[in-house]
Amino acid sequence: MKVGGGKVWYTAAELADMALPGLPKTKRKINERAAAEGWALATGKVGEPLARPRQARGGGLEYHIDVLPAAARTTLARLGVTVVADVAAEPESRATQMWRWFDGQSTKDKVEAERRLQIIALVEAQEQVRPHLVVLGNAAHSLHPIAGQGYNLSLRDTLALAEVLIDSEATLGDFATLQRYQQRQQLDQQVTVGFSDQVTRLFSNAQPLLTAGRNLGLLGLDLLPPAKRWFARQAMGMGTRNL
């Protein structure tokens, strides 16, 4: 973006201090209007972003004058703000805009967004087999990236499929055979997804009572070898297998 003739990026606080026509007169109200009108995701004529993270202390966003109402832009022009050229080498993709918006959010909002993403990520495909077709790995299930559980589960899926195919006398790709594979692995997948979710929730919560209970539980595992072995088997994804 090439600009000239003065300042063209403003924070909500700066806009409030200037009391421009067509805009609220407080920082809070300007932020509310920016959120309602989607200033953070606004783009120019060739797709360039019209909002950017503020580099100074305190963070937040700065907005280009092009997102402002005409009356406010006119007043800024009288103050010496003039855009010479407004071009970008390459239009910014929608995904890049979304990540840029995310980077400008508060730590609290980012933590909440990641929490919701984890919920969405707990996915298990309902239809994993068709005649001559098997869905494996992350295409069949997605779970928390904790201790390589997703990778380990994918390996067990592959092993189970190989064992079922070897034991079957039917033609390769037989639907009934593939259904036996899915039935065999269904419990393993459900247990692994549920276990990884509960462990993640347990160890990511900083509430004092839960932290104390978690510490007592870990101490109990050290004192009770059978419980420790059970937990270890669940963590290895071996809770549904007799070895």
Supply the CATH number for residue 55's domain.
1.10.10.10
- Tokens (6 digits) for 14: 């700066």
Q: Are residues 21 and 120 in the same domain?
A: no
In a domain, residue 128? The reply is yes
pTM of the shown model = 0.44
Question: Which of 105, 126, 142 is at the close of a domain?
Answer: 105
Q: How many domains does the chain have?
A: 2
In a domain, residue 243? The reply is no
Q: Are residues 97 and 144 in the same domain?
A: no
pLDDT of residue 218: 79
In a domain, residue 3? The reply is no
Cβ atoms < 10 Å from Cβ of 201: 13
- Low pLDDT (below 70) residues in the chain: 1-6, 58, 81-97, 99-100, 117-125, 144-147, 234-243
pLDDT of residue 96: 65
**For 146-155, how does the pLDDT look when each residue is reduced to its tens digit (9 = 90+)?**
667 778 888 8
Residues of the domain holding 58: 9-105
pLDDT of residue 177: 94
Question: Which of 73, 105, 137 is at the close of a domain?
Answer: 105
